[in-house]
Structure formats: C-alpha cells, structure tokens
Structure 1
Amino acid sequence: MTFPPTSVATHTDDFARFITASPSSYHAAAEVARRLDSAGFSRVDEAEKWSGEAGRRYVVRDGAVIAWVQPAGAGPTTPFRILGAHTDSPGFKLKPKPTIGAHGWLQAGVEVYGGPLLNSWLDRELELAGRLTTIDGSEHLVRTGPFCRIPQLAIHLDRDANTGLTLDRQRHLTPVFGVGEAGQADLVGHLAGLAGLRGEEVAGYDILTADTAAPARFGLDDALFAAGRMDNLSSVHAGLVALLAAPEPSDQILVFAAFDHEELGSQTRSGASAPLLDDILTRIGAGLGASVSERLRAYAGSWCLSADAGHSVHPNYPEKHDPANRPVAGGGPLLKINATQRYATDAGGAALWAGVCAQAGVEYQEFVSNNNVPCGSTIGPLTATRLGIRTVDVGIPLLSMHSARELCHVNDPFALSAAIAAFFAPVR
C-alpha cells in the first residue's frame, strides 16, 4: 500500500509541526480543520440542513472535530470505519478573576485540568492558550507564547524535596508572570489585546497552559522524540494523516472523530459521552434514506478504532508492568486489553487489529496492566456502549504519560498512522 508521508523522518517532522500548532484543544481542532480544508473537505454547520450527496465533510464543535468521506455508492446500510481520538491534554486552566499575586509577584489563578504529573510542570516556560468569547458569541483563538512559570521552592528552603516532594494544588501550583501588584495588571486584558480585542469585550474564556519547549528528536540515531501533549495528539495526527491519504472508499464510510474533554471523563457536549458522533452518523444515514432498522444494520457492520496513547515498559520501574507483557518503545503500536473492559478490545477486535497491521506491514504489541496497578480508560468503551459499534483500543507506547513533556520512539507514531491507513483501506 502507498502511505504518505514517505518516511519516518517526514512523518515526525509533520507531527512536530502539528503539536506546535496545537497548544490547546481549540487550536488542535482549528489545525485539523485547516488541514481538512486544504485537502478539499467542506465544513458543515450543525444548525443547517445537510446534503445527502457523496463528498468529504467535517464538523467542528468547540475543541472536537468529526470528518467523514462518503463514497458515491454509499447506501442506507453502508457500514462505517471510525477512528476515535481526543484533542485535550492534562494541564492547568485559567480561573475567573485570574490576575492575582502576592509579595511583589504577579500570578495567574489556575485550577488543575485532568490528571497532570504535577511536578513535571515546575520550572518550565509555559504559555496560555485557548479561546476568548465576546458578548455576541464570537470566538477568538489566542496564545501567548512563553509567558508564565510555576517556580519550585529552592532546595535550601526545603531540604526534604528530594525525598518527599508534596505539592499543594492550591498553594504551590500558581504560575508567576511578572512583578508588581495584582491591581496593576489585567491578565484577561492582555489576552484580549493579543486577539485584537479590548478586555471589556471578553465575556468568557477557556484558557489552558501548555509547555512551550519545541518538540525534539534526540538520543542514539535520533530515535527518541519528546514533546508535550502526545497524549493524545499522537492519535489525532496519525488518524488525520491516514484519512487524508486514504483512497476513495467504495464499500464503507470513513469517519475521523477527535473529541474534547477525555481527560475529564468525556461527559461534555463535545466529549465522547455526548451524542455528537451518534447525531452525525444518524444524519449521514438520514441523507442516504436509512430507516432506523437500516441504520442499526449499518452500525452492526461497522468498526471503531479508539486510538489513545498507552504505556511503554519503564526501565526504572519494571515492577509496575505486567511481567509477561512488556511493550517497548519502537516495537510498534499497542493493542490495549483489559479484562474489566476499561479498554473495549475483545477477541474480534484483536483479530481486526492483527489483520490491519499485517496489511500495513506493521508489528504491534499487546498491553495489559499489572493487576496491582489500576487501569486507565479511553473513549473506546464509551463509544461501544453508546453506539453498539465493535470497538478496539490501540495507541502508541509512551514514557512519562501526563507529564508536561512525554517521550516516544519515532517509529511508533508512523507505524500507528500506517495501521490506521490500512483500517481505512477498502475491505477485501
């Protein structure tokens, strides 16, 4: 099969550009939309009537994007091939009345978003990024570039820091962004100015932190790749590249679904627990004249790949991993399995994944948790439960997941995208 980009190097470079363009879920959605536009997709409005004609279309809702390719021969029972991922990552979110400070320092009031590895966010130059909304409801993306920092207490003032660091979420994780008194600065006004607005025009905002260090290849043979937000921009990028490289389908409808708020549990209007995907699939079916029974028949023939990052075995903490299943960086993407269905993979899903990886010429690895270490979850079980569509959980292996800066092998994102491309290929 032909799979652009043509090498690991070009894929990695493009992945780095995608991460850099996506400091927030809203920026990630905008970057996905930009690339879809360039590839000839048409954006449709959820409030408008949709055409049932064949074509390439997409919807943006907040920080979520769903795109699809409907072939000319699609009918009421044509199945879907869905790639599911999420655009958000752990970090910190700006509170109301965010300009605070003490003892001569200006600080930004933030609250914890998701489950970040807190100590990894210390002593890094962070930016603020997200969206501002004016009173008329219009949205404006904004990012500051390097702007603030969460300073750690010096070792001279905390002699036990190297033996038992404890961070109070309210007291110890407030970034500094300048000096002076809180009444002398206006953080929202500063953000508004960057967006070409006046501070008083801003009626609401969703602003988060992002590490500003550039993605980097390093190590022996430049085989390692470090960047922020690879959980889960790695899957968003891999799925998007695969969709844009896919040949025109004839026997299935290709769907790319990147949801927001997975790190919070997905229970929002743009999360995987929302009716967003179901609504869009229903509207596609309605455009094809599908009855309820025919739509359910289409679902019965459909598959969803839930792509989210997983764990590589950690060389310094091998006891945290299952003794028999130890996926390594560079060994290929993961097939994620859990007996309690925290991942949605079953035997049928394992067979599907084995088949698409073989078609792509990609090796893969199985991941299962150590019984003493609680297993995380993904959008996979949510999608399977909501739609009844067969679902399998996959992703690349990472070290330092939920750190401000995560680590992978350069081969694995490329291999994941190649496997997704095979998943999107015409069924033989």
Structure 2
Amino acid sequence: MPDLSPGLSPGADLRALVDASPSPFHAVAELGRRLTAAGFTQLAEGDAWSLAPGGAHFVVRSGSLVAFRVGSAPASEVGMRLVGAHTDSPTFRVRPRSDVRQAGYRLVGVEPYGGGLWHTWLDRELTVAGRVVLRGGRSVPVRLDGAPLRLPSLAIHLDRGVREGLTLDPQRHLVPVWSQDLGTEPGLTEALADAAGVVPADVVGSDLVLADTQPAGTTGADGTWIAAPRLDDLASCHAGVTALVAAAPGERTQVFVANDHEEVGSGSMSGARGSFLEDVVGRLVAVTEPGDPQALPRALARSRLVSADMAHAVHPTRYDRHEPAHAPQLGGGPVVKVNANQAYATDAAGAGWFAERCAEAGVPFQWFVSRADLPCGSTIGPLTATRLGVATVDVGAPMLAMHSCRELASALDVPLVTAALTSCYEDA
C-alpha cells in the first residue's frame, strides 16, 4: 500500500482521512489532496480535456469526485475497472434560517440527514462543517474550531419514562444549543463568516452539517479496532483512492468514484442517480476513441464495477439479528454482500470475479446476507449498475454500530480491503 501519509500505518492513515473529512466537501478536498500528491491532476468539467495513455486525473462536482488513470489499450477493446464509494454519512444539516432562541438559549436549527442512530449524538461535543457560498459564487470550505454545539439529554429526574424507551422528536428534541441568549454574543452566521475570512454580509448561502469533534481513535484489548465517525463510508473512500494510487498502470482504464448523497437516495447532480460518473466515463472514452459512436457501450459491456460500502459485522450481543451462515467478523477481510431482491448488485459472476481477485492478492473474504425476516439496506451498486449497465459486485469492510455518531471497525481490514481493490484495478 502506498505511503500516502508518511510514517502512518494503514489504520492510522484511515483515521487521518476521517479527521480531515467532517463533511463531503472536506472529504473531496482530502481525496483530491492525496491524489495530487500522487501525481494526479485536476480537470474541470467546463474545460476541454486532452487525455493520453497513463494520464492520471480527477474531477470534482460539488461533494463528489471521480479519479481515473487512462489505460494503454482502448476501453472499447478491454473495458474498464471501476470502484465506487460515497462521501456522505448520516448527520444533521443546518437550516437556512438557523437562529433559534428559546428558554434563554440560542440554538441552531437543523434537520436530520439520512437514517442515523440519533440518540448517539446526545451529549457529544459537536461542530459545524461544510461550505459557505460568497457573493460572486465562490465557495469556501469551513469548519468551526472547538466544539460550539451540543445536544444535551434530559435528566432522568425529568423523564422517568425513558427507562421504557427513549423517544426523540427531531423537530423539538434534536436542536443543538449554541450559547446562552444574552443579546450580545455572536451567532453561527458571524462565526461562519469569521472562519471564511469575510464579513457576514458576504455570505449568501451555505451547505453545512454537524460533526463530532472527537478524533478517530483506537480501542479494543489489543488496540486494533478503530472508533471513529463517518467510517460508513469514508473507510471505503480511503481504500478506493489508496488502491487506485497503488495500482500498477495497465491496459485497462482504472476509475474511482466517490458520490455524495448516498444516505438520502443518491438523487442529485452529484449522487449516483445523477450523471456525474456517466459524464466523466463518456468523455474519457470520447476523447481517447474519437469518432466511434459504439466505443462507450462496448467499453461498458467489458467493464466491471466494485461498489464499496461498509458491511454489518456480527454483533457480539445481538448476533440473533444476523443470518447464522453469513456472519462477518471484524478483521476477517472484505465482505461480499448478496440480496435476493437486488438491494445489492452482486450476482454469481461478479462474486466469482471478486473472489479470484482476492485470491490473487492473498486476501480472505466473507459473505453477508440479511435474515429473511429483516429488511436490507442498499448501496450505490444497484443504482450505478442500472444507469451504466456495468456488471457490479457489492463489497465492504465489516463494521459495528453503522450509522452511529461513532462507529467501530478493525484496522486489520484496512490493508485487506485496499489490497483486494488494488487487485481489482490490476485485473488482467
């Protein structure tokens, strides 16, 4: 695995990426920084592209990124190898008119984003991160220093019924407190402008989320577990970009996509239901194989996509929630995910192909299938397979506490998943 953060182990390197990525915009910036350090150059969608075999580039659209290395052979003849992940995680989005004043406090109005375990956000030191848009259209990434926000829980003395079950109304109960309302203290708008280096009147818009300020850390008796926010799906972003950098150039074009908005259905210009990946791949083929209207469909027909999204490891006390024969273990390697109702895009051919790549890399792999009496989550895999018509396999590193404010995975899986994806990129 390449030394993207000098001196760091694979697990520590993942923790560094997570800490640098409190929002999708920060995640894209960090992925771009790592790609640039590895010799990739950024392209703008509005510019004309000139591409040559071996060229390594990346493109950013809002909170999403596509990176690629052009193969030595035409994609229409040998296909492409693609890996997909997502940059977003369940959180709270700050509302446009966010200044709330009640009971002698100033609060920040937010709205739940995705399907989070919202009780895990209580009593944590939180901040705001994302981007602000300035007059003239320029956007600036922002992350407020310190921990200016908190969601305080209600004392048991004031809610005796909590022992029978905690019920949280997101409109009334999940509104983070900013400060006491003294009438003179600066609010969120002033703090954001200060972080962006402008005056409040220059800020015309924002895309902001809440983020836990506790750094990613290690836990467990032997210290091999990673406790961190946003592992779903920044761990896959880390593995995908690290594998792309590590992969040896070959005949096939290698592509990595990190989409935003997966947690809310992917329906956006930068989500997997949008045209971003299709636009980039289409331009790539059009530039490298000009004048051939059949080049793109031929290339897609010969391609394979790995949808990399985190998988459910068997729970230590709630193991009954897993299908007994498909109970992935932390540290056991990547998990191939299968669902009869196509919540995952894996089929027999895709699973077999991925198993061969794991064997070539010397990496063990595991299986996940939901219980027949439980619903199954989904990924960008079926969406991308549907839009592009590319053979797709859904895989991911095993984890616990998915969609918690602070999730749990194994550092042992970081190099295993990266090696498996590197083998997929290098598939001959």
Alignment TM class, shorter chain as reference:
over 0.9
Alignment correspondent of 1:115: 115
Matches within 5 A, 1:13-412: 13-54=12-53, 55-74=55-74, 76-145=76-145, 146-181=147-182, 185-249=186-250, 251-290=251-290, 291-412=292-413
Equivalent position SS for 1:326: coil
Matches of 1:198 and 1:8, distance apart in 2: 40
Equivalent position SS for 2:109: strand
Alignment correspondent of 1:4: 2
Matches of 1:143 and 1:392, distance apart in 2: 35
Higher alpha-carbon deviation: 213-222 or 394-403: 213-222
Matches of 2:348 and 2:89, distance apart in 1: 30
Identity rate, percent:
44
Equivalent position SS for 2:77: coil
Higher alpha-carbon deviation: 258-267 or 291-300: 291-300
Q: Is the 8 A contact 1:262 1:271 kept in 2?
A: yes
How far residue 223 of structure 1 moved from its aligned partner, in angstroms, is 1.9
Matches of 1:292 and 1:234, distance apart in 2: 37
Change beyond 3 A, Cα 1:426–1:352? closer
Q: Is the 8 A contact 2:68 2:253 kept in 1?
A: yes
Letter in 1 for 2:47: E
Change beyond 3 A, Cα 1:119–1:199? same
How far residue 280 of structure 1 moved from its aligned partner, in angstroms, is 0.8
Higher alpha-carbon deviation: 264-273 or 97-106: 97-106
Letter in 1 for 2:205: G
Matches of 2:333 and 2:73, distance apart in 1: 35
Matches of 1:199 and 1:142, distance apart in 2: 14
Equivalent position SS for 1:95: strand
Q: What is the RMSD computed on CA atoms of the aligned residues? A: 1.7
How far residue 8 of structure 1 moved from its aligned partner, in angstroms, is 12
Moved over 4 A (4+): 5-9, 181-184
Equivalent position SS for 1:221: coil
TM-score by length of 1: 0.96
Matches of 1:255 and 1:286, distance apart in 2: 15
Equivalent position SS for 2:222: helix
Letter in 2 for 1:29: V
Deviations 1:143-163 (A, max 9, x none): 013220000001111122232
Q: Is the 8 A contact 1:53 1:287 kept in 2?
A: no
Deviations 1:200-225 (A, max 9, x none): 11111000011111111121211211
Letter in 2 for 1:99: D
Equivalent position SS for 1:375: coil
Matches within 5 A, 1:411-426: 411-426=412-427
Change beyond 3 A, Cα 1:273–1:75? closer
Q: Is the 8 A contact 1:333 1:413 kept in 2?
A: no
Structure 2 unaligned residues grouped into runs of 5+? none
How far residue 73 of structure 1 moved from its aligned partner, in angstroms, is 3.9
Matches of 2:7 and 2:311, distance apart in 1: 20
Letter in 2 for 1:33: G
Structure 1 unaligned residues grouped into runs of 5+? none
Q: Is the 8 A contact 1:272 1:383 kept in 2?
A: yes
Q: Is the 8 A contact 1:99 1:185 kept in 2?
A: no
Letter in 1 for 2:380: I
Deviations 1:290-325 (A, max 9, x none): 523222111111000000011011121122111221
Matches of 2:302 and 2:38, distance apart in 1: 28
Deviations 1:229-282 (A, max 9, x none): 000001000011111111122x20000100000001000000011011111111
Q: Is the 8 A contact 1:217 1:224 kept in 2?
A: yes
Matches of 1:418 and 1:314, distance apart in 2: 25
Equivalent position SS for 1:299: helix
Letter in 1 for 2:277: L
Q: Is the 8 A contact 1:102 1:181 kept in 2?
A: no
Equivalent position SS for 1:241: helix
Letter in 2 for 1:136: G
Higher alpha-carbon deviation: 228-237 or 196-205: 196-205
Matches of 1:192 and 1:205, distance apart in 2: 11
Letter in 1 for 2:335: L
Deviations 1:77-103 (A, max 9, x none): 341100000000001000011111211
Equivalent position SS for 1:407: strand
Q: Is the 8 A contact 2:75 2:252 kept in 1?
A: no
Deviations 1:51-99 (A, max 9, x none): 1323111100111000000034445434110000000000100001111
Change beyond 3 A, Cα 1:270–1:39? same
Equivalent position SS for 1:204: strand
Change beyond 3 A, Cα 1:9–1:313? farther
Q: How many residues were matched structurally? A: 424
Equivalent position SS for 1:161: helix
Q: Is the 8 A contact 1:101 1:182 kept in 2?
A: no
TM-score by length of 2: 0.96
